[in-house]
Amino acid sequence: MELTERIPAAVLGATGVVGQQLVRLLHDHPWFSLEAVAASSRSAGRPYGEAAEWMLDRDLPPDLAEKIVVEGGEELSAPLLFSALASETASELEPLYRDRGHLVVSNASRFRMDPRVPLLIPEVNPESLELLRDQDSSPGGLITNPNCVVAGLALALSPLHREFTVEAAVVTTFQALSGAGYPGVPSLAALGNVIPHTRSEEEKIEQEPLKILDAGFPISASAHRVPVADGHLASVSVKLSRPTDLEEVAEALSGFRGEPQERRLPTAPERPLVLVGDYDRPQPLRDATRDRGMAVTVGRLRPDPVLSIRFDLLVHNTLRGAAGAALLNAELALARGLLDTTAPDAAVEVP
């Protein structure tokens, strides 16, 4: 894709963990430029460097630190908005901006299960972007990315369902603290501990993959919060409709590619699923940032004595599971001609 001017974008909820990742990723993005950062009234009117308690492992660029935060709900000129809002705030602001003509790409859970809204993983269900035409808000629209665990789980289930038909899945997750936002889980509750409940997570894991995969098989989920900074680990057991060997399953997983790889979208990993053979992998410390945090690592593939197969998978929860997922969704929307680029000085040639 040849770019003459980068498309202006803004981030809603820019001071939180996911908002900060979006700000970082947009700073050097080849297609999009960060025009504005928006947050609550507590942060509005302050320089972003003061309003955001920067938590990422690289310094905040000075030009971003000096941007003045605007209050969510104010008029924005950027045609593309990335939402890292809490669900309650998203309920109000995302439809507001969509109806004003913006394409809103959301990480919030509020509208994921709305039948008119794409719940998108670009490698899995790119055709769901056609739902934008049913929202009656052109040129505006709303796209969502899934729950951070589902971003990895649905990727892994997709080639299995396509090749062998999944009949049931059991998922146990061990989820990083960053998934709870900041300040998140109190340190005395998290350190040296495992918390066997994360609010609404199990319901999302059980419901969202079925919309993405257009499937009806049951999923049983158990979610746990563990003292890990980044990276959601999941132990997955799957029942397949027919007997198969592990070599066939491994080939389906490792050979999986999608439209982002075909189009070479900037945020797309070379391989969305990376199958590793080490007996003790994947691990958050060693695998979460694979391919800029956008590849999902699958390991410990083996027979399951109750169902058919089982494996572990690891997804970086704030990148592939949140900010990076939203960015990839926007890239695909642009490549498919579904992003109105009529903002001043914005012009692109779409592949």
Check if 232 is active-site: yes
Query: Which neighbouring-strand residues pair with 119?
Result: 144
Check if 161 is active-site: no
DSSP 63-81: HHHTPBPEETTS----SEE
Give me the catalytic one of 29, 102, 161, 232: 232
Which ranges constitute the DSSP H helices of the chain? 17-27, 48-51, 62-65, 87-99, 148-164, 187-190, 201-213, 246-254, 259-263, 284-287, 290-293, 324-335
Nearest to 80 by CA among 145, 113, 31: 31
Q: Nearest 10 degrees: CA dihedral of 108, 61, 33, 118?
A: -20
Give the integer Cα–Cα distance in Å for 323 and 306: 36
Q: Which residues of 51-79 are buried (b: 16+ CB within 10 A; e: fewer)?
A: bbeeeeeeebeeebeebebbebbeebebb
Angle at 282 between CA 270 and CA 175, to 5 degrees: 100
**Pair type for strands 273-275 and 296-303:** parallel
Q: Which residue has 């999009």 as its token pair?
A: 32
Query: Which neighbouring-strand residues pair with 39?
Result: 71
Give me the catalytic one of 29, 102, 148, 316: 148
- Which pair of structure tokens corresponds to residue 224? 């746990």
Give the integer Cα–Cα distance in Å for 256 and 259: 11
SS3 assignment, position 286? helix
CB atoms within 10 A of CB 227: 15
Residues annotated as part of the active site:
148, 232
